[in-house]
Structure 1
Amino acid sequence: MFQSGAYFYDFSFGFFRRYNGKGELIEEINRDENYPFSVYDLIEKIKVTHQIDLNNTSEKSYVTRNFDKSRNIYMIVYEKDKNKILQNGQSKYITVNGQTGEIVSEGITKISLK
């Protein structure tokens, strides 16, 4: 058995497919079903609103999908801050609604990306 699909940071997105030993499709899951605001939409929005390129691995950032307060969200953690130096062990975060693309919250967290 083998499988195919795309990953962004630690989560799969788009269609995730599993095949049997003969190469026949046995399962197909749409990982974006509950996320109408796509990974591509998220990348573009954060590039415009926060000048962070989530595709650039040299920028310290992390993205995951979660469920929070009855909604699907993207959580972005990053260390880039043009206005001030963050203290050791701190990073900034952005929470984005996975259905509408609305920025739900932003702040500082103790999660370190080092």
Structure 2
Amino acid sequence: MLTLGVVVLGADDVPRAVGFWRQVLGYELVEGGFGGWANVLAPPAGGPGARLALQRSETPPQPRPRLHLDLHVADAAEQTAEVRRLVGLGARQVAWDGYPADPDFVVLADPEDNLFCVVDLGHG
């Protein structure tokens, strides 16, 4: 039976990416790697959430990736606060041309230009 092992993000500067995502998610760096990956972040103390691996990539991020991370928050106030915090950590808000009329998500890019969303789960 298959299980999802890790989600992998490419990066030009792997140490910078590891530092950014550790701060974003509060994850811990797995000593000795995991599943063949050297740079794996995991939830603290075996908590819930997928593991995230960071690898060196020589290809640029896609402007409209088919796969991206959605980070969930409970409501609009938490979304605003988290977007502000993430921008303070080095993310940037993306001028996304695909927003619906009343979006429940905000598109950001990490310091490596990988796109991800902060989604308000309390949005109508």
TM-score (norm 1): 0.30
Largest Rg, 1 or 2: 1
- Higher relative contact order, chain-length normalized (CA < 8 Å, sep 6+): 2
TM-score between both structures, scaled by the size of structure 2: 0.28
Which one has a larger percent strand, Structure 1 or Structure 2?
Answer: 1
